[in-house]
Amino acid sequence: MALAGLLPSLYRPCKGLPGSGLAEAFATIQGLRVTTTSQEEREAHTAKGEPLFAGLPGDIAVSFEFFPPKSEKMELALWNAIETLAPLRPRFVSVTYGAGGSTRERTHATVARIARETAIPAAAHLTCVEASRAEVDEVAREYWQAGVRHIVALRGDPPAGPGTKFVPHPDGYANAAELVAGLSRIAPFEISVAAYPECHPDSANRAADLDNLKRKLDAGAVRAITQFFFEPDTFFRFRDAASAARIDAEIVPGIMPVTSFAAVSRMSKLCGTAIPGWLADLFEGLDEKPQARELVAATLTAELVRRLYAGDVRQFHFYTLNRAELSYAICHLLGVRPGDGQGGTK
């Protein structure tokens, strides 16, 4: 509609909207002009700005998460990923632990091999699910004997599946805070725990969730690794809230490169991670185009990590899904080069 036709219609008061009229019309038009100008300014800044990743000094610390392989083929893929990422000298690599100890032997074998055959500090996930304290303690002692000095202590998911209530083993650890305290009594482990920027699904509210995090840290954990998220402000708000709650331990953002949007959507529903509409739009139509999907995933994840870096984040934990390429590329963009860090191969 032309402006000449728009003004008279806005000048006439609208039924049920007191005060509507010419002033409101000009305010609306002015708002549109401001919005347009703001968008133009952003685009102009983007056009003339420095490259996002130019000159980054590589002053970050990275860690990587893997899951234990289920077959010889998957084991080969896992070790290819470890060998690819090892030259970046991560602070540690962690290996997940299935619900109810379903991957106990495979997790132990994988972690022990990493500790034995590489110079990368290996961290083993350990949960409270369907195991007595004595059983969990025995697993922890086996890790210590195998040279594993770092545990990622987690309550674990309800074995009955998502949406069901977690019921502790009658003789087991009731929660992650109890598990951390128990591990601290067994050996001087370095202990990491989980944090939830968008609140754990089982927590009553955000304040209760932060209280639970504080209990885990007070029990002996030295850092928290967050659930994955997709917008930097999600992490920044959580970091500020943790600081306000007098949590001063290291909080490391967990980064999930989107190798499969469908899979990440399923995981997000389980852990309460919000998926922005713009993210779904960018992956629309790429289900049958894996190479294009990976390029989009690398671009978006690199942008997320770069914005976190601009917000003074210097530690990152990558959920690799046993694939190295995306994580390696993002670390490269951030200035990390082989030999810059703390690990390596023997």
Residue 254 predicted with pLDDT over 60: yes
Domain that holds residue 182: 61-333
316 assigned to some structural domain? yes
Overall domain count for the chain: 1
Bridge partners (DSSP) of residue 194 are 225
Q: Is residue 196 part of a domain?
A: yes
Rounded (10°) angle between helices 206-218 and 176-186: 10
48 part of a folded domain: no
pLDDT of residue 120: 95
Helix (H) or strand (E) holding 193: strand 190-195
Give a yes or no: residue 250 inside a domain.
Answer: yes
What is the pTM assigned to this prediction?
Answer: 0.83
Residue 343 resides in a domain: no
162 part of a folded domain: yes
Residue 151 has pLDDT above 90, yes or no: yes
In the prediction, which pLDDT does 345 show? 47
Residue 27 within a domain: no
Query: What is the sign, positive or negative, of the torsion defined by CA atoms of 314, 123, 295, 260?
Result: negative
Q: Residue 25: is its pLDDT beyond 70?
A: no
167: CATH? 3.20.20.220
Helices (H), the chain: 3-11, 22-48, 72-85, 104-117, 133-145, 176-186, 206-218, 232-244, 261-271, 277-283, 290-310, 325-333
Query: What pLDDT is stored for residue 42 in this prediction?
Result: 72
Does 29 score more than 70 pLDDT?
Answer: no
Round to whole Å and give the CA distance between 215 and 209: 10
Is the pLDDT score of 18 beyond 60? Answer: no
- Mean pLDDT confidence for 135-164: 89
pLDDT of residue 22: 47
Catalytic residue of the set 24, 40, 43, 65: 65
Give one DSSP letter per residue of 26-54, joined into a string: HHHHHHHHHHHHHHHHHHHHHHHSPPTTT
pLDDT tens digits for 43-102?
A: 777 677 778 888 888 899 999 999 998 888 999 999 999 999 999 999 999 999 865 555
Within-domain flag for 36: no
Q: Has 65 been annotated as catalytic?
A: yes
